[in-house]
Amino acid sequence: MKIALISFHSSPLETLGEKDAGGMNVYIQRLSEGLMELGHSVDIFSRAFNSDITNIEFHDENEFESIVRNLHFNAGSYDLDKSQFIDYLDEFVDKVIGFCDKNDLKYDLISSHYWLSAIIGQKLSDYWHIPHVTTFHTLAEIKLSLGVEDGTDLQFRSKSEKEIIQSVDAIVASTDLEKQDLISKYDAPETKIQSISPGVNLDLFKSIDRSESRRILNLDLQENIVLFVGRIDSLKGIDYLVEAMRQLGQKFPFRLQLVGGSLHASPELNELKSKIQEADLTDRVDIIGSVSQEKLVYYYNSCDIFVMPSLHESFGLAALEAMACGIPVVVSDVGGLKTFVTDSETGFLVAPANANEIAVRIALLLENDSLRNQMGEKAQIQAGSRTWEITSQKIAFLYSSLC
Ligand code: UDP
């Protein structure tokens, strides 16, 4: 199959952990590679996000066998606010059609990611008369139900998502929970939705000696280390983790490492810093910023406990990566997280927005080395059953059934 993959608002080439680049970018990259390994070709169409990236490198069409290509098109300024993305969808569609006509590119199927790309995907699907499969990654109705604002018109987005659901040929949900949300909140036809779990890169995320990892990162060999990995976003619930660490106070000497997010001044970062200052934890919390996945593996292997205190999480790849490294996790009992963490077996599920529960679970694990080790071992086994190879095979099977 030749697949046109639409990732309009965020390119897989953007720095992971910054701005909007996170799980979806990893998903697209890994899925595309997985499809390529199965003999398919994937062209990924994204909005140009800086001036170095606007030139499209285009090769001979004969090379278009089992490859992944990243194609970028100018649509709005590089630093466009996400509330304005919607104004540039038609321009992007025109550019993609023009480019494909000029280069005689033809596809068998469109795979779109996130609601903005799904709007584009549907327009292209109608124009090219080929099937369209979408993955939403996040849903407006979930944000609305949580009362979370993100600077965009969520009512409009929800209406668009409803329309897309009716038009697309199939929808890939990351969990059964997401499938249920699509049915109950959007009246999505059940037969259109397939629940296919994302995976983890087991070649990269695996156990590495803890002391060795700490030496590589220049970390103290004795300290208790609690790790969070993710974008700095209110939905990630980092505030509750900071509050939990304040409650643990002097009882447990610890270091909290926050990996992800840009270190450039932003309202979110300023707020986080003030919270840490108010909790009197400035000396105990490291705000690391975003790091590559190759380096991230040492952070996972250096920590004693991984915490993901999200208010909602479509899936929660970072927690799965930590588990693959043999680390016990304390995660909110929400969304995707509760589908792959077994409470009291591979970690602890805690109520969202509850600092006290997070503190109690962290204390229990820090006090009990054997419990921590046992849970870490079980976590690694549990994570091992979810690989990108399996994800890609299931998605390729779905795509083929539509072509
Ligand atoms: N990530 C990374 N570097 C960072 C922060 C995050 O490579 O500094 C990656 C992380 O390994 C994971 C993804 O970004 O694969 C985040 O996905 P997750 O599902 O945890 O969160 P999302 O971004 O989807 O909310």
Q: What is the mean pLDDT of residues 245-267?
A: 90
Q: Is 231 in the pocket of ligand 1 (CB under 6 A)?
A: yes
Looking at the fold, whether 38 and 148 belong to one and the same domain comes out as yes
Give the mean pLDDT of the chain. 94
Q: Is 199 in the pocket of ligand 1 (CB under 6 A)?
A: no
Looking at the fold, whether 98 and 10 belong to one and the same domain comes out as yes
Looking at the fold, whether 157 and 263 belong to one and the same domain comes out as no
Q: Which helix (H) or strand (E) holds 243?
A: helix 238-248
Q: Is 22 in the pocket of ligand 1 (CB under 6 A)?
A: yes
Q: What is the mean pLDDT of residues 11-18?
A: 81
| Predicted local confidence at residue 197, as pLDDT | 97
321 CA: nearest ligand 1 atom: 11
Residue 349 has pLDDT above 90, yes or no: yes
| Predicted local confidence at residue 150, as pLDDT | 86
Query: Is residue 157 situated within a structural domain?
Result: yes
Q: Whose CA is nearest to atom 23 of ligand 1?
A: 22
Of residues 267 and 169, the one with the higher pLDDT is 169
Q: What is the mean pLDDT of residues 174-203?
A: 97
pLDDT range class, residue 71, cuts 50, 70, 90: very high
Domain of 26 in residue numbering reads as: 2-199+387-402
Query: Is residue 205 situated within a structural domain?
Result: no
pLDDT more than 70, % of the chain: 96
Residue 58 has pLDDT above 80, yes or no: no
Query: Is residue 204 situated within a structural domain?
Result: no
Looking at the fold, whether 117 and 235 belong to one and the same domain comes out as no
- From CA 361, how far away is CA 367, in angstroms rounded? 10
Cα 99 to ligand 1 centre (Å): 32
Looking at the fold, whether 96 and 237 belong to one and the same domain comes out as no
| Predicted local confidence at residue 345, as pLDDT | 97
Q: Is 135 in the pocket of ligand 1 (CB under 6 A)?
A: no
Query: Is residue 24 situated within a structural domain?
Result: yes
Looking at the fold, whether 352 and 260 belong to one and the same domain comes out as yes
Rounded (10°) CA dihedral 168, 174, 176, 181: -60
Residue 140 has pLDDT above 60, yes or no: yes
| Predicted local confidence at residue 63, as pLDDT | 57
Query: Is residue 345 situated within a structural domain?
Result: yes
Taking CA atoms, 218 is separated from 98, 168, 214, 228, 299, in Å, by 51, 50, 6, 18, 11
Q: Is 259 in the pocket of ligand 1 (CB under 6 A)?
A: yes
Residue 393 has pLDDT above 80, yes or no: yes
Looking at the fold, whether 98 and 239 belong to one and the same domain comes out as no
Residue 57 has pLDDT above 70, yes or no: no
Query: Is residue 168 situated within a structural domain?
Result: yes
Looking at the fold, whether 286 and 333 belong to one and the same domain comes out as yes
Residue-wise pLDDT for 287-341, tens only, equals 999 999 999 999 999 999 999 999 999 999 999 999 999 999 999 999 999 999 9
Query: Is residue 108 situated within a structural domain?
Result: yes
Looking at the fold, whether 396 and 282 belong to one and the same domain comes out as no
Cα 357 to ligand 1 centre (Å): 24
Supply angle C-alpha 119, 122, 125, rounded to 5.
150
Cα 21 to ligand 1 centre (Å): 8
Which of 175, 206, 258, 296 for a ligand 1 pocket mutation test, highest count of atoms within 8 Å of Cβ?
296
Query: Is residue 293 situated within a structural domain?
Result: yes
The CATH number for 80's domain is: 3.40.50.2000
**Side chain identity at residue 192, one-letter code:** K
Residue 59 has pLDDT above 80, yes or no: no
Which of 10, 204, 293 for a ligand 1 pocket mutation test, highest count of atoms within 8 Å of Cβ?
293
Q: Is 237 in the pocket of ligand 1 (CB under 6 A)?
A: no
Looking at the fold, whether 329 and 391 belong to one and the same domain comes out as no
pLDDT more than 90, % of the chain: 85
- From CA 52, how far away is CA 54, in angstroms rounded? 6
316 CA: nearest ligand 1 atom: 19
- From CA 132, how far away is CA 130, in angstroms rounded? 7
Count of domains in the chain? Answer: 2
Looking at the fold, whether 150 and 260 belong to one and the same domain comes out as no
| Predicted local confidence at residue 64, as pLDDT | 60
Looking at the fold, whether 129 and 16 belong to one and the same domain comes out as yes
- Put simply, whether the predicted model's pTM sits higher than 0.85 gets the answer yes
Q: Whose CA is nearest to atom 8 of ligand 1?
A: 290
The residues with which 289 forms a beta bridge, in sequence order, are 259, 260
